[in-house]
Amino acid sequence: MRVTQLMLIAASGLMLAACGNKPLPEAGPSSEPVEPTTSTEGASSGSVGSSELSAEQQAMEAARQAGVIVYFDYDRAEIKPEFVPVVAAHAKFLNGNAQRKVRLEGHSDERGSREYNIGLGERRAQAVRRALMLQGVTENQITTVSYGEERPAVQGSDESAYGKNRRVELVYGR
Amino acid sequence: MKKTVILLACWALTWFAATANAQLVIEITKSAEDAVPIAIVPFGWESTGAAPFDVAEVVAADLRRSGRFEPLDRKSMIDRPTQGDQIRFQDWRYFKTDFITVGKLMPEGQGFAAQFELYNVLTGQRLAGQRLTASANSMRALSHRISDIIFEQLTGVRGAFSTRVAFINVEGTPPKQRYKLIVSDYDGENQQTITTSDEPLMSPAWSPDGQSLAYVSFESKASAIYVQTLRTGERKRVSARAGINGAPAWSPDGKTLALTLSRKDGDVDVYTLELNSQVLTRMTFDPSIDTEPSWSSDGKKLYFMSDRAGGPQIYEVDVANPKRPTRVSFEGNYNARPRVSPDGKQLAVVHLDRGNYRIAIIDLASKGLQVLSEGRQDESPSFAPNGAVLIYATQEKGRGVLATVSTDGRTAERFTNTAGEVREPVWAPFPQR
């Protein structure tokens, strides 16, 4: 019993390490428009007060801390409990910055037929979109695209690679 | 059986030697046991020096791949006649060869002429004979034409050895990958790049006249369907709606595309798009994923994949009255990407078989399913236009390669491309006679 509990605690710690505090991925084609940490000039042209800027920065920093990738189980599109805070942090940022837009890129692992996987990637992107909209983000702040299995995050044909590839990436336009 | 293996090894070796600079290497993964034995005698060369091209090699490979024939290994040939009156039939009967093809190649103008004859070894009867000419760089095409003539003569079925396939080729590792849409001979030779992109290309589909390809491109950072005319290179974007634009499939009359859209609401459904009028008609209405449409040969029905029952299964729907689709696949819990056979009686699908994604055939009358391939992650089956063979993509050492399997499941081959990964092969229709 005690051992199980310890394992659970350890596992949840690992999970947090793996998911909750995930650093932002390196710039790459699908994650390239990562929000710059220090400046938001591009989006808010000029007349924003410094206190607002700081609030925006705070929310963005929180979203960055939470992570920009939501991972999914095999053949599923439900947002798992550990990723609810990720989506919430982005919802908070988007709510406070109505001019900002996010692009939700849905992906699947490589198994099965390609067009069905396009469908699965879309279903996952839509799940994140709905969660954001339920938390007040407006429709015109969100676009979705599904790449199915066409743009894997990692190569490989094992469960660890599959798990990293079943995902939605939240990408901010400039 | 052992003899077969050795024969195959020799055959593969000689093939490799003859095409050392070719991009594809062929591996025979399964060979038919009750195929018709035939001797394709190496062609004579009516000039000086070495023969410029091995016609018999290509013909033998074609016939073997069909699953209907077992060409005699040329090392076993004690005699090499090049015309009918030189054939000693009793010798060939000794090899239990039912048919024999002899021929010769000669210079003609800028290119060559090939003269060949086909005989029944048991009766000594001459079944076919023709003289064909080709330029020096069209010798493979000439050889495939000879295969077509022999195949049709002996089976009554039109040969598909002169047809082409399209596929997606991918090089590089994520996130930097280069995508190409390639058209080649059905055996992977004579590759021609149709389009290239740094963003994914997917789902090529031939127009019924074989003149154009529809495909999906993410070049604008979202999916869109393009139609490209091969001869002119002219390219048209036919669908770039919000959400998914995928899985294009031409109607048999070439006037309409079936396609998958998710529109704004994200509901993944099959639609038809009339190309001239741009009229869009919704074909599926379920909130599940409905995709991968494929037309019946009469153009009245669409087969498609849906996970409305939990896992992916195949359904059919009446195009004129699409409200009530009926389920077609019942075996297993994963059947996807249906393609209709040329005679309209079968569907090729991707079927999850004890943890492996494999190519299977569903008989539409009995709904029975037969697994044909043996890979772990086989995808994208496509029928030869004569229905004799399926081409598909399989994994070899972690990358996609082309493979064929005869639709009776008796012969299988793999074409190992040396550059990059092969995905989503689709077989072109017959060229117009």
A23/A61: higher pLDDT: A61
- What confidence score (pLDDT) does residue A35 get? 41
Contacts of A120 in chain B (CB under 8 A): 289
β-bridge mates for residue B27, sequence order: B414
**Interfacial A residues in 58-97 facing B (CB < 8 Å):** 75
Q: Would you call A114 and B243 a contact, using CB atoms and an 8 Å cutoff?
A: no
Residue A86 is classified by DSSP as H
Which residues of chain B make contact with A113, given a CB cutoff of 8 A?
292, 305, 312, 336-337, 350, 357, 379-380
User: Of 3.10.20.600, 2.120.10.30, 3.20.20.20, 3.90.1170.50, which CATH number belongs to B164-427?
Assistant: 2.120.10.30
What length does chain B have?
433
Tens of pLDDT, residue by residue over A75-93, are 899 999 999 999 999 999 9
For residue B244, list chain A residues with Cβ-Cβ distance below 8 A. Answer: 118-119, 122, 146
Inter-chain residue contact B260 with A30, CB threshold 8 Å: no
Identify the residue with better confidence: B299 or A23.
B299
Every domain of chain A and the residues it spans: 2-172
CATH for A2-172 is: 3.30.1330.60
- Answer whether residue A1 shows pLDDT above 90: no
A113/B243 Cβ within 8 A:
no
Are residues B307 and A112, on separate chains, in Cβ contact within 8 Å? no
Place of tokens 């003609």: B108
Domain ranges of chain B: 32-155, 164-427
CA distances from residue A9 to A15, A16, A18, A86, B166 in whole angstroms, order as listed: 10, 10, 14, 21, 53
pLDDT at B433: 65
Check CB contact of A32 with chain B, cutoff 8 Å: no
- Predicted pLDDT of residue B185: 92
Compute φ and ψ for B201, nearest 5 degrees.
-115, 145
CATH code that applies to domain B32-155? 3.40.50.10070
To the nearest whole Å, the CA of A30 is away from the closest chain B CA by 8
Cβ atoms of B210 and B428 closer than 8 Å: yes
pLDDT (0 to 100) of residue B286 = 96
A140 Cβ under 8 Å from any chain B Cβ? no
Mean residue pLDDT across chain A: 77
* pLDDT score for B25: 57
- DSSP run (H or E) holding B45: strand B44-45
Whole-angstrom distance, CA of residue B210 vs CA of residue B112: 28
- pLDDT at residue A100 greater than cutoff 50: yes
E strands, B172-300, in order: 178-185, 192-197, 201-206, 212-217, 224-229, 235-239, 245-250, 256-261, 269-274, 280-282, 290-295
Hey, which residues does B227 pair with through a beta bridge?
B214, B236
**Which residue is listed with tokens 């290497």?**
B25
* Predicted confidence pLDDT, tens digits, chain B (433 residues): 333 333 333 333 333 333 333 344 556 666 566 789 999 999 999 999 999 999 999 999 999 988 889 999 999 998 999 999 999 999 999 988 999 999 999 999 999 999 999 999 999 999 999 999 999 999 999 999 999 999 999 999 999 999 999 999 999 887 789 999 999 998 888 999 999 999 999 999 999 999 999 999 999 999 999 999 999 999 999 999 999 999 999 999 999 999 999 998 899 999 999 999 999 999 999 999 999 999 999 999 999 999 999 999 999 999 999 999 999 999 999 999 999 999 999 999 999 999 999 999 999 999 999 999 999 999 999 999 999 999 999 998 888 899 999 998 888 888 876 578 999 999 999 987 6
Q: Quote ipTM for the complex.
A: 0.88
Half-sphere exposure of A88 (CA within 13 A, CB side): 7
